[in-house]
Structure 1
Amino acid sequence: MLSSVTTRWRKQYSKLPPALQMIGLQMWLPIFFMFMFCFCYLGAFHSPKIHDAPVAVVNSPAASQFTDKFTQASPGMFDFRFYQDTDQATEAVRDGSAAAAVQFPTSRTGAPEVTIASAHQFQAAQLMKSTFTTAFSQAGTTPRITDIAPLPSGDSYGMGAMYLMLSWCIGGYMVAMFIGMMGNPLSHLTRVGILAGGALVASVITNVLASLVLGVYSSAHIWQMMGVSFLWILAIGLAVNGLAYFFGRFITAIALTMFVFLSIPSSGAAYPVWMVPRIFGDLNPLVVGHGITEMIKRVLYGVGEPYWQPFLLMAGYAVLGIVTMLVGKRWRESKEFDRILAGKTTMMAAAQGAMMQKGMADRERILAAHGLDSNAEPIDDETTDDRAADGRTTDDTSAPSDSRRNAEHVDHDDMRDGTDGERRRHYSVADLESDFGGDPMLGGNGLGRSGTGGALATDELEHQVREMINRRRVPDASLNGHSRH
């Protein structure tokens, strides 16, 4: 039932103008963008609220009384974590496991101290500062605020790490996305080489602009940042390259979801994860945005997770890419092999074939309108006169001209018949779609030999398929010299 409906739909759709077919087959992308923008950005950032914000508290009787009262007044707002000494609480703020640290005075004359790290998360630091200043002021005291990692003037709101992260993600996934969509014939080594080259270029461009041109961070860190960005961009590229074998042209949606739409709200770079819906907080340890921003903050400001944690995440994405690359290539070739033998094609391949035919026909029409033949040379007047004498004119569309027939067919092999030496009829785009079904962007219509990235797996299969087409082109006397289909 579903198969027959799909078949009828494809048949009707193929009757549309080729350009309209191509546009229609890409309309899923803007719809996807609208849905993901609303869900991931509007849903995450339209109403940020504090829930379970981690706060390190140096243990003392006064601290316990304070946290009990605070929890009763604002249940679920803070997650107070007790530490035995000041150093441990401060280190929790430094590595990002706590948004702030609170220490109560040991004497009546002392003032409580609130420790923050603006360079780790600017919004979190300012929120903790204002919240505890207000709370202690209501209790009749003013806390001392200590910022262990203030932001530089070049990145006064701490947005540099987020936009650097975003530029690295885009640089990594876009290079791999185009390789996955158009680089099917390429070997693994060539594809990885392109990824590495793209990662090098992207790391140089982004860091030179951020440091030397815009002054987002000090040039003293530029070489470290180039090394970090190169590794992250390459890891992202490897992951997208491997997944492209399984998702084809839809890899765009997968890459955007993983490395942009989910990565930004889950990274903690725009807002702390305890201010966005919990689903994004749960994804925080898994998204590349988290690992990248933590490493940037550690390199530039000495805050954030220890290096081994982001490196572990980076390695995980690189391994994902390598494994899917090795498995995916064989899987893709197997699917294309089955598709070719079944004589099937995709709607995109059919639309591209129709678009090619339309383009060739348009070329002939434009050249003819300017008195040129298919080789862009002036039309021979004697040939025109002969046609007129036979009752045919250049405007006669009832029988296609030789130049039009040449434009409607694609010469694939220049094969000659072994008995009479006459050239066989050229194969048309429609022939390629029916006899060599498959997505041309994935090599589905290619006749490349084994090892060169074509769709046919072996020389023997190529020979068999060619023989099949040759048999379809044997002239039949009953058809008055026309080729039998």
Structure 2
Amino acid sequence: MSTPRNDRPRNNDLPDRAAAATGAGRARRTPRTAPPPKQQLGRYRRWYATLHPSLQLIGLQLWMPLFFIVGFCLCYVFAFHAPHPHDVPVALIGSDPTLVAAVQQALPGEFVFHSYDSLVAAKRDVLAGSMAVAYDPSTNEFWKASAHQFQVASLVPATLTAVLTGLGVASPKVTELAPLPAWDEYGTVPMYVMLAWCIGGYMVAMFIGIMGGPLRHRTRMAVIVTGGLVISLITNTLAGPVVGAIHGHFVPLVLIAWGWIVAIGLAVNGLSYFVGRFIAAPAMICFVFLSMPSSGGAYPKWFMPEPFAWLNNVVVGSSMVDMIKHQVYGVGPGPARGLLTMACYALAGLVLMYFGKKWWERRRIRAIVTGRTTMFQDANTANREFLGRERDAELERHGLTSTATGTLQVVPDDGWEDERAAGDVFTGGRDGLENEPVNPHRQQSGR
């Protein structure tokens, strides 16, 4: 018979307690203290503990689908159900009071005209994304940049053309400054690549926060940095060489994605100390539900309702989409804003990690000293005990029994198989989904 091994190497992330192994450490006797008072549970929690352990765990996770439903309705459906232009900036070369007055009368609050003396400066701002389109009344011509924002480049010239023709002006010419490539016909690739980077970044840190509470900062950060590089390589390989949605720019995009995934991972990791297993909620709110509509990838901020129009200035999705467009298509603002936003999120994550670790440790010690547990901890404990009993029952049905050291012994009697082992594979044994405990009076012998 095997014996337990007590000389296994320590495999955890806790610091060594060298003093405990010294004579001085052995000489100090820990004073005996009274056990913590038994936790007083409410009526609902006592009732909930009577349910099947697996059902308890399922019930405690049902907040996730409810959260998804609410998040999608309040963010995606609300933001995209009726996008409407408001305060769309238009670069006007020179002046055209008649056009401005007609647009303000026909489309109040939708367009804001900015006078430019130089057509070159107007084109530059269109490519940078600060102006939706440029219009020169002297030549009756629009300039647009579809690679920066396909919806703006399609809707704004058409809308203003209707006003111009109503004034008796001939249909203006539309000149493309930055056309979209054939492999991204509607300009949605940057948005979905951004979404893949966001989801990868927050999910790595989310699982660290849920399951890696005792880990040191350097261990957590090593996982985030390594995981970020792997996710960056995978997403850019799939989007580029495999799918063909992006041609070239592989190394710069890998570096950009890596930086963003690490920044998002650090921020989520810092938050996880404060919200524990519910980290998925704030992570998805910040980096998916709010970031996606506010990013400008689907519709620009001039078409989004508040607060999404304002959030375009601070969400990661906005800076990520701009960096992808600038790198791949040469449009939008330069990388400075994106790098600054990336650094801010990473710094916020580091600050949250510093204070959050201390707060988490104090809360953990307080729970241990007072004997307080959560419903999820109780459900996990009950499920673990239930599975242990089920394991022993299943072994007995197959003529086996386990010892204290984990060694399996064979039950020698011939009629070992329990009739409850039969039954439908989908509905369980004959007596229901959860078989009753085996007969405790059954005689077992080992060899």
Map 1:81-230; keep pairs closer than 5 Å: 81-105=114-138, 111-138=139-166, 139-219=168-248, 221-230=249-258
Q: Which residue of 2 aligns with 1:251?
A: 279
Change (3 A) 1:32 1:90: same
Read off the aligned partner of 2:440 and give its amino acid letter. T
In the TM superposition, residue 117 of structure 1 has moved relative to its aligned partner by 0.8
Residues in 2 aligned to 1:367 and 1:262: alpha-carbon distance in whole angstroms: 51
**Separation in 1 of the partners of 2:443 and 2:276?**
38
72, 80, 91: which is aligned to 2:113?
80
Distance in 1 between residues matched to 2:445 and 2:327, nearest whole Å: 69
Query: Which residue of 1 is the match for residue 370 of structure 2?
Result: 342
Write the deviation string for residues 183-225 of structure 1: whole angstroms up to 9, x where unpaired.
1222111111111111111111111121212221222x11111
AA of the residue aligned to 2:56: Q
Using the TM superposition, name which of 181-190 and 119-128 deviates more: 181-190
Relative distance call for 1:64 and 1:185 in structure 2 (3 A) is same
Residue of structure 1 in register with 2:44 after alignment: 9
Whose RCO is larger (CA < 8 A, sep 6+)? 2
For residues 93 and 141 of structure 1, the distance between their equivalents in structure 2, rounded to whole angstroms, comes to 23
Task: Tell me how far apart the structure 1 counterparts of residues 60 and 125 of structure 2 sit (CA, whole Å).
Answer: 51
Once residues 86 and 356 of structure 1 are traced to their aligned partners in structure 2, the CA distance between those partners, rounded to angstroms, is: 72
Deviates more, 1:296-305 or 1:124-133: 124-133
Are residue 306 (structure 1) and residue 334 (structure 2) matched?
Answer: yes
**Number of residue pairs matched?**
381
Secondary structure at the aligned position of 2:46 is classed as: helix
CA apart distance, 1:6? 6.4
Q: Hey, what's the Cα distance between the residues in 1 that align with 2:133 and 2:85?
A: 14
- Matched residue of 1:285: which SS? coil
Distance 1:279 1:251 in 2: 23
Q: How does 1:321-336 map to 2 (within 5 A)?
A: 321-336=349-364
SS of match in other structure, 2:115: strand
Q: Deviations over 1:152-184 (max 9, x none)?
A: 001111010001000000110111111111112
Q: Distance in 1 between matches of 2:160 and 2:40?
A: 64
Alpha-carbon distance in structure 1 between the residues aligned to 2:67 and 2:443: 44
- Structure 1 equivalent of residue 396 of structure 2: 368
Shift of 1:83: 2.4
Q: CA 1:283 to 1:195, structure 2 compared with 1: closer, same or farther past 3 Å?
A: same
Offset at 1:134? 2.5
Q: Deviation of residue 396 (structure 1)?
A: 4.5
Given the alignment of the two structures, is residue 397 of structure 1 paired with residue 426 of structure 2, yes or no?
no
Specify the code of the residue in structure 1 equivalent to 2:100: T
User: 1:402 Cα deviation (Å)?
Assistant: 11
Pick one of 353, 367, 374 that aligns with 2:381: 353
Question: Displacement, 1:276?
Answer: 2.0
Once residues 46 and 402 of structure 1 are traced to their aligned partners in structure 2, the CA distance between those partners, rounded to angstroms, is 70
Which residue number corresponds to residue 40 of structure 1?
Answer: 75
Looking at structure 2, the residues matched to 231 and 91 of structure 1 have their Cα atoms a distance apart, in angstroms, of 28
Q: Name the aligned partner's letter for residue 351 of structure 1.
A: A
Change (3 A) 1:6 1:137: farther
- Once residues 147 and 189 of structure 1 are traced to their aligned partners in structure 2, the CA distance between those partners, rounded to angstroms, is 50
Note closer, same or farther for the CA distance 1:264–1:396 as it changes in structure 2 (3 Å cut).
Answer: closer
For structure 2, which runs of at least 5 residues remain unmatched after alignment? 1-38, 417-436
* CA RMSD between the two structures: 2.2
How far apart in 2 are the matches of 1:145 and 1:395? Answer: 81
Of 353, 377, 383, the match for 2:409: 377
Q: Which residue among 86, 89, 101 is the counterpart of 1:68? A: 101
What amino acid is aligned across from residue 376 of structure 1 in structure 2?
A: L
Gaps of 5+ in 1: 106-110, 385-393, 404-485
Question: Is 1:287 aligned to residue 315 of structure 2?
Answer: yes
Q: Contact 1:114/1:132 (CA < 8 Å) preserved in 2?
A: no
Question: 8 Å contact 2:209–2:276 — kept in the other structure?
Answer: yes
Percent identity, please. Answer: 45
Runs (4+) of structure 1 moved beyond 4 Å? 398-403
Distance in 1 of aligned mates of 2:227 and 2:335:
24
Asked whether the 8 Å contact 1:267–1:293 carries over to 2, the reply is: yes
Aligned-pair CA distance for 1:23? 0.3
1:135 Cα deviation from its structure 2 partner: 2.6
Q: How does 1:446-485 map to 2 (within 5 A)?
A: none
> CA shift at 1:46, angstroms?
1.1
Identify if the C-alpha distance between structure 1 residues 5 and 92 changes in structure 2 by more than 3 Å, giving closer, same or farther.
farther
CA deviation string 1:41-83 (max 9, x = no partner): 11111111112212121232xx222112211121111122222
Label 1:365 to 1:260 Cα distance change in 2 as closer, same or farther (>3 A): same
Partner Cα distance (2:443, 2:203) in 1: 44
TM-score by length of 2: 0.81
1:36 corresponds to which letter in structure 2?
G
Q: CA deviation at 1:143?
A: 1.3
1:56 aligns with 2:56: no
- Assess if the C-alpha contact under 8 Å between 2:102 and 2:163 holds in 1: no
Distance of 2:316 and 2:40 partners within structure 1: 41
- Decide whether aligned partners of structure 1 residues 65 and 345 sit closer, same or farther in structure 2, where only a CA change above 3 A counts: same
TM-score (norm 1): 0.75
Distance 2:252 2:153 in 1: 26
Query: Following TM superposition, by how much is the alpha carbon of 1:86 offset from its aligned partner in structure 2, in angstroms?
Result: 1.5
Following TM superposition, by how much is the alpha carbon of 1:18 offset from its aligned partner in structure 2, in angstroms?
0.2
Q: SS of 1:274's equivalent?
A: helix
Contact kept in structure 1, 2:393 and 2:438, CA below 8 Å? no
| Superposed CA offset, 1:1-54 (max 9, x none) | xxx996221111111110010000001100000001111111111111112212
Q: Deviations over 1:275-299 (max 9, x none)?
A: 2212100111111000000001111
Deviations 1:111-156 (A, max 9, x none): 3121111011111110112112323333231212121111000111
Look up the equivalent residue of 2:334 and give its one-letter code: P
Counterparts of 2:109 and 2:442, CA distance in 1? 81
Match of 2:295 among 267, 272, 285: 267
Indicate yes or no: 2:63 matched with 1:20. Answer: no
Q: Select between 135-144 and 159-168 the one with higher mean Cα deviation.
A: 135-144
Deviation (angstroms), 1:400: 12
